[in-house]
Every structure is written in C-alpha cells, then in structure tokens.
Structure 1
Amino acid sequence: MTMHNVSVFIKKSDWVQALSKCERCDFYHTWDYHNVSFFNGEGSPILFDVNINGRGLIFPLLERSIEGEVKKDLTSVYGYPGPLLYGDVDETYFNELWSCFVSFLVDNGYVSLFSRCHPLYFNGYIKNHSDFSGEVVFIDLYLSEDEQWRFYRGNHRRDINKLNKIGVVCHYDDDSSNLDEFIDNYYSTMNKLNASDFYFFSRDYYLKLIESTDFKARLYSCVYNGEVICSGFFVFFKEIVQYHLGGTKPGFYHLSPTKMMFDKVRRDAMELGCKYFCLGGGVGGRSGSLFNFKLGFSKHVEEFRTIKLILDESSYRELSSHATGDDSFFPKYRIKP
C-alpha cells in the first residue's frame, strides 16, 4: 500500500529535522538563510516534506502574498537552493513524489512556483520539470594544491603573484569589523553593473548573515596601503563554500584583487576540509566576461537550472493580463511597471 504524506514546516526545529534526512544540502536550504531573506522582504520561510513510504522530497521555499489577492505564490531564496531527495528514490518514485507535491500546491491555492536549483545537488530527474539557465564554476578542493594551482589561467597566477609582491594582504573577519568598507565596495560594483534594486541589500541583511548559527559567513578583505580595495562574503557549510557577494573599490579594478581573494578563500576552505568552492556563474546565469573570469580558476562547470510552475492557469492569466516587458520573467505578473 502506497502512503502519501505532505508535511509543511515553518519552525526552525522542524526545518532542521527535515533537512537532517537528506544526505547533502547547502546553506541555501537552511532556515537561517530563509529567515534572512524574510527580513529582507522576500517572503515567509516554508518547507515542504513529501514522503511516500519513507522516501521523500524536501523543498524549502518562500511564500509570498500577491497584492490584492487571497492566493499566494512560492519562490526560492537568492542563490542555489532547490529540491532535495532522501531515501532510495528512483525515477518512478521521483515522478510520484513530484506529482504528489504539485497536486498539494494546486489544492492549497498557490498560483505559481519559481525556484533556482542547486548545480551540485541537482537531481537529474527534475530535468523534465526545469529549464537550463546557465553554468556555474566550481573549484575541486579535494585535488592537491599543485593541481588546483595548475588549473588557474596563466594571467590569474601572475596577477596573484603581483598582488603579493606589491604588499596586498587578504584576511577574513567573522564579525562586522570591515562591514562598512564592504558595503561601499559592493554598492560601487553594483552601480557599475547597473544592478537592480534587489541587489542593494541593507546593513541588517549582512549582520544577520554574520550572526547565523546554521552556517559560517566570513567577510574577506584585500588590504593595500591601509585601504580595503576588495571585499567579499563567503559562506562555509559542510563540504562546500559559496561565493555570495563581493565588490572592488573604484580605482583598483586594474589590480584584479578578487583573484587574490578567491585564492585565499580556496586555501582556507581546503584547511577546513571543504570539497567544493562554488564561484557562481555569469550575470543572470549567462556567459560573458564575469563567467570567463571565473573559468580562469577551474574548468569544472555544472548546469544551473530553474523551475517555473504555473499551478493555477486562470489566476495566472488574469494576474498577468496587464503585465508588459520581458516575456522570460517569471512569474509574469510580478514584472514591475
């Protein structure tokens, strides 16, 4: 007899217990990170645990109200979260779990679901329910130091050696010591890239990252002649370290201090026993100069996929009827006028 069960969790204790059933997860799946996103106005943390005979699917998301509507929708946190599996799940079991999950969302009145997927912990079975959105670069930390260094592009190695020679030093803080300098450098970089308002996070956002107990957020700084010329937030969690946010001080782009910062994080992560260092992808998941820059550290790339589900066709059409602009944006009714 097949037993279906969908549990919904919003409390941290339940969330932690649910994630403990999964062999692998990242900081993007944690309650703390979802709570940081909640305080950033992105939605309320909610985790779905779909279980069939002891095998299951875990999906942490953010629940959002839709202005002027009783119904709600679901989205993922910024980064690479996505669904996780536990137990011995084959393709047949996955399809049953997925069907059960989608039916539950429809029955509970959700209009749509959008989620980014984790490039490493992505399960091949979800391919039929997701779209290819780009590639993400990883450094394999289980390789020897010499092998990792050899994978660096020649100009990356030369620039790192030059930064060392002229006296640039990179260090980290796990407190807010250099937070103001980071914010200045990060905002300057976002302005240079004409980034949307979403990427201009508040000071409280960074403080909540630092204060988290679910994961370890470190703020790395490259210092030259007493000035912080490059800064980045990196999050360490179990076997993986993620490059979260970063920026360079105007006037110092020619030195490419991010190269030294990445190299320092890589070496620290190795000492901590991490297996992977995720550098991320290009702007908006696309290839380009940023993606090419990251490829200069490693040729290990993984697919980045996104899930776009319309759960209530009629409501979605009605809500989107007045939306104009980018047809690739999902859900369409959330395009800002």
Structure 2
Amino acid sequence: MKKILSIHQKPEWTAYVKNALHYDFYHTWYYHSLDSSGVAILFVFEENEDYIAFPLLRRQIPNSEFFDFTSVYGYAGPISNKNFRDLDDGLMERFKTSFLEFLAAGKNVTVFSRLHPFFDQQFLMEKFSGIHSNGKTVAIDLTTTIETQRAGYRKSVKEKIRRLRKKEYEVHLSTDLNDAKIFAKIYAENMRRIGARENYLFDEAYFVNLLTADEFDTKLFLVFKDNHAISGAIVVCTNEIMQVHLLATLDAYLFDSPAKLLTDEITVIGRKLGYKYFNLGGGVNFKEDKLFGWKKGFSDLCYEFNSWRYIANDDLYNSLVIEKSLDLDSTVDFFPLYRISEVAS
C-alpha cells in the first residue's frame, strides 16, 4: 500500500521515522519543517508489518508545469523497519514500481537525494539506476578508548591541541538558549568570509529551533578564549550517531584552529553520553580537498557517501537542459543540470 504524507501529518510522519531500524535527524518531521526550499513529503510503501519510507522535497521547475524532487541538507534517503540487506527482494521491487508510478503521475522529471553513509540504502537504490559516488565522509569511532582515538591523530593535530590547551582555550557545552545568538554571530561572520550561498545563511531562530526540537538531541558547543566565545559547533545526536551539523570560528582566531580542540572535546562528552560514532562529514561538495584532509587528521575511518540522481522522464529532462543552452554531455558534477544557473546566480 502506498501513502503520501504531507508536512501537516506530523504524528504519522514521526511514527514511521521512530519505528525505523535506522534513521537520523535528517529524516524527521521537525527537520523537514524547517526547510522552505520545497514542499516536504514522506512517500511510504508498506506491506503487512514491513515498510519503506522516503522523505523528499518537491519543487516546481521554474517557468514550467513540471516538478522535481530533492532532499534536505544533510544525509537523508529511504528508511525502513528492517535493514535493507534483510528486506524481502519482492517488497523492494514493488516499492520501485509504486514509486515510479508516483513520479509519472505527478509530472515529475528528476529525483535527487543524498544518501546516508552509515546505512545500507544502496541495497534498495540499486533497484533503480542513478547511484552516484560523492566521495567519502570521515568519522571517529567512540567505542574505542580516548587514548586509542588520540593515538590515531595526525602529529600536527596532537601538537595543535596541546598548544590550544596551553593557551587556555576552553570548550563548554552550553545549556543556555541565549547562547544561540552568540553562535549565530560567529556563524554569520564565517559565512560572509567564505561567500556562502543564501540557503546557508541561517539566522538565530534556526539555531533556537534546532536546540529545542523534541525529535532529536541538539547540542551547542562553544570555545572560549579570555571569557569570549570565539568558535562553536551545532552537533545533532540521534540514536548512536553524533553529527557536526554546523561549525564556525571567528576570523581573528582561525590561525589557532580552535576547532581542533573543539572536535577532541566533543568526543570526550560523546563517550560519556553513550554515542558510538562522531561523523565529521566530508570536504566541500564532498571532494577530497583541504577540509577533507583537516578531518582526516583525526581519523582514518571513512564511509562511502553516495547520492541518488534519477531521471524519471528522459525527454523532458533533455528538453529542459537544452532550453537552458546547456550541453547534455556536460561532465559538470551537478544534478539536475537544468538547475545549475540557480546556484551560479
């Protein structure tokens, strides 16, 4: 049986997420309610006690009567009450048929979804075409001892953390919602420095909403120097996983790299709270760049990160790309290609 839940059906959405074997805060109703870039839906296919649920954002394609789907910022993709490795193959095939019928009936051209590196979603998505390798994410294993973890740090990371402690940088786990305003200012300065796109310019209310959400546990860590907060991170904790959602440092303190001490201290607290993994994420656009190398300084534990890029209607897709005077054979790593000008503008 197929269901399409809207963002107005919070209890039903939340029940499917909570009953999933594996899920992250990116799948929750609350996180989707914060995203205004599209109309959030939860596509559900279920048979007896088993189900597959797929959260997506539906967007109208400008100057057309057609639509496409994307995922929220972060690691999303489908979830189920069972590991995808163990799901009945027939159920997955019938999910595929139902989902494709849904796409065809709604004038939908493409689907883009970031997949979760810790889950086995590829066992389902391989039923379709369009799995795309986006590189790797870096994680720290919190089930080891802190001594084993730190022994795996790059030498330069160990030395930098030692110097930061000597300079009396301190990391605090905030319990005051008013500190969201402090982090918002640090984050805004960081975004201006790197020239971030508008959809990454979150305001204070966004951080307050995350910190007060009841479907996951959001923590605000701040680094202080001389009693002033100069760096911080929003870390979201769901089930066994801690995720760095957002991290920022004031320009004047970038040289000291206080985020290295911050990362180390988060793992100390994470262990005490019983989490098993601290996911640091990947590089910019998930490339193995300088940021990825920075994260690798803490751990060699990497997970494959994939996205799903599916064309539901080839003819429409091609016409939309040509309409934008773009090359159908372009090797630019962007999907769907007909939306690339929206990012460039």
Same fold by TM-score, threshold 0.5 exceeded? yes
Separation (CA, whole Å) in 1 of partners of 2:33 and 2:162? 40
Gapped runs of 5+ residues in structure 2?
none
Structure 2 counterpart of 1:29, one-letter code? H
Farther off after superposition, 141-150 or 320-329: 320-329
Superposed CA deviations along residues 51-94 of structure 1, whole A, max 9, x for unmatched, are 24543321111122333434322110001111123344155543
Measured after TM superposition, the shift of residue 324 of structure 1 is 5.2
RMSD after superposition: 2.0
- Asked if structure 2 preserves the Cα contact closer than 8 Å seen for 1:6 and 1:104, the reply is no
Change (3 A) 1:268 1:212: same
SS in 2 for 1:22: coil
Separation (CA, whole Å) in 2 of partners of 1:91 and 1:131? 22
Measured after TM superposition, the shift of residue 44 of structure 1 is 2.1
SS in 1 for 2:335: coil
Structure-1 residue corresponding to 2:285: 284
The answer to whether the aligner puts 1:332 opposite 2:301 as a matched pair is no
Structure-2 residue corresponding to 1:9: 5
Report percent identity of matched pairs.
31
Measured after TM superposition, the shift of residue 35 of structure 1 is 0.6
Of 92, 95, 101, which aligns to 1:94?
92
TM-score norm. by structure 1 comes to: 0.91
Separation (CA, whole Å) in 1 of partners of 2:78 and 2:205? 28
Structure 2 counterpart of 1:13, one-letter code? P
Structure 1 counterpart of 2:29, one-letter code? W
Measured after TM superposition, the shift of residue 282 of structure 1 is 0.2
Change (3 A) 1:108 1:54: farther
Structure-2 residue corresponding to 1:44: 39
Separation (CA, whole Å) in 1 of partners of 2:325 and 2:199? 20
Separation (CA, whole Å) in 2 of partners of 1:322 and 1:174? 52
Measured after TM superposition, the shift of residue 256 of structure 1 is 1.0
SS in 1 for 2:319: helix
Measured after TM superposition, the shift of residue 143 of structure 1 is 1.3
Structure-2 residue corresponding to 1:299: 300
Q: Within 5 A, what are the aligned runs for 1:128-167? A: 129-167=130-168
Structure-2 residue corresponding to 1:206: 207
Separation (CA, whole Å) in 1 of partners of 2:323 and 2:189? 35
- Asked if structure 2 preserves the Cα contact closer than 8 Å seen for 1:174 and 1:217, the reply is no
Measured after TM superposition, the shift of residue 211 of structure 1 is 2.0
Separation (CA, whole Å) in 2 of partners of 1:217 and 1:67? 35
Structure 2 counterpart of 1:6, one-letter code? K
SS in 2 for 1:77: coil
Of 112, 122, 143, which aligns to 1:124?
122
Superposed CA deviations along residues 93-116 of structure 1, whole A, max 9, x for unmatched, are 434422332232222322211110
Separation (CA, whole Å) in 1 of partners of 2:65 and 2:19? 33
Of 59, 62, 65, which aligns to 1:64?
59
Change (3 A) 1:9 1:104: same
TM-score norm. by structure 2 comes to: 0.89
Measured after TM superposition, the shift of residue 201 of structure 1 is 1.7
Separation (CA, whole Å) in 1 of partners of 2:90 and 2:203? 44
Structure 1 counterpart of 2:252, one-letter code? G
Structure-2 residue corresponding to 1:236: 237
Gapped runs of 5+ residues in structure 1?
none
- Asked if structure 2 preserves the Cα contact closer than 8 Å seen for 1:52 and 1:97, the reply is no
- Asked if structure 1 preserves the Cα contact closer than 8 Å seen for 2:77 and 2:121, the reply is no
